[in-house]
Amino acid sequence: MRNARVIHYEDTPRDVVATGNDYPAGMVLPRHTHKRGQCLYAVTGVLTVTTSEGSWVVPPYRALWIPAGVHHTVHMGGPTSTRSAYVLPEVAASTKLPAHCTVISVSPLLHALLSEAVDVPAEYALGSRDDQVMRLLVEEIARMPILPLSTPLPQEPRLARLCHALLESPSMDVDIDTMARKADMSRRSFTRLFREQTGMSFSHWRQQACLLAALARLARGQPVTRVAVELGYSSPSAFAVAFRRTLGATPSQYLAPRHVT
């Protein structure tokens, strides 16, 4: 189903339904939720998805698994084309799909299945080829490697407010002492609570937030030097080293077009 609202199909008596949509640059889908788990695939454009638990960046040729019932907001970083598969919660559980939002790779097979699925009618015949496509689609989602493209958000109100602000304007120049002072906490209390709330140090979190912001900007075509300077890295080479250390490839390699069609 292309350019269709999934709310009209969530109660369809089938394990999986799929939609494809196109969005203009800068569009925001306000906070919402689904009865089904969603595999949200960015064919083109960059998605940033935010929940109360964190923020995820989804570059082209990657996808985000969003479990059923999770409230989320979706920001389109440029002209964006998406393909989504919506899976009943019991089917997601039996296939051992993740219990939390997770960015995954998209194999050539998964790309082909998602592209095919959007043309399958909502009430496809059970036992048919369309049914087999949908079943294989769920199995392939479950096989995909998980990617480190998330920034967890603390639940403590002071830390949550500061982290949301930093996600809006990420910078390597923001230090622990500044954050602790804004939270009206000692450095020691801040560092301890931050790690308890997010599972990582503030320095690690700041690096992750900056790299994911960089990924979104690079995918929109901004040059590496500009991105590195705006995010507070000492040099483009320092940025490239941090990017490769975290994501396993240089920016150009990571965002290179894939031959998936």
**pLDDT tens per residue, range 145-190:** 999 899 999 999 999 999 999 999 999 999 999 999 999 999 999 9
Phi, psi of 18 (to 5 degrees): -140, 145
pLDDT reported for residue 29: 95
Distances (CA, A) of 221 to 3, 93, 214, 218, 229: 26, 38, 11, 5, 15
Q: What percent of the chain has pLDDT over 70?
A: 96
pLDDT reported for residue 4: 65
Quick: pLDDT tens for 136-146: 999 999 999 99
The domain locations on the chain are 6-147, 151-254
Please say if the pLDDT value at position 37 is more than 90: yes
Element counts in the chain: helices (H) and strands (E): 10, 11
Q: At what angle do helices 236-247 and 202-219 cross, to 10 degrees?
A: 100
The model carries a pTM of: 0.89
Please say if the pLDDT value at position 259 is more than 60: no
One-letter identity of residue 81: S
Q: At what angle do helices 202-219 and 157-168 cross, to 10 degrees?
A: 30
Give the mean pLDDT of 245-254. 86
Please say if the pLDDT value at position 209 is more than 50: yes
CATH 2.60.120.280 fits domain 6-147:
yes
Please say if the pLDDT value at position 45 is more than 90: no
Structure tokens at 205: 């979190």
Quick: pLDDT tens for 53-99: 999 999 888 999 999 999 999 999 888 999 999 999 999 999 999 99
CATH 1.10.10.60 fits domain 151-254:
yes
Q: What percent of the chain has pLDDT over 90?
A: 81
pLDDT reported for residue 147: 92
Give the mean pLDDT of 229-255. 91
pLDDT reported for residue 3: 65
Number of Cβ within a 10 Å radius of residue 127: 8
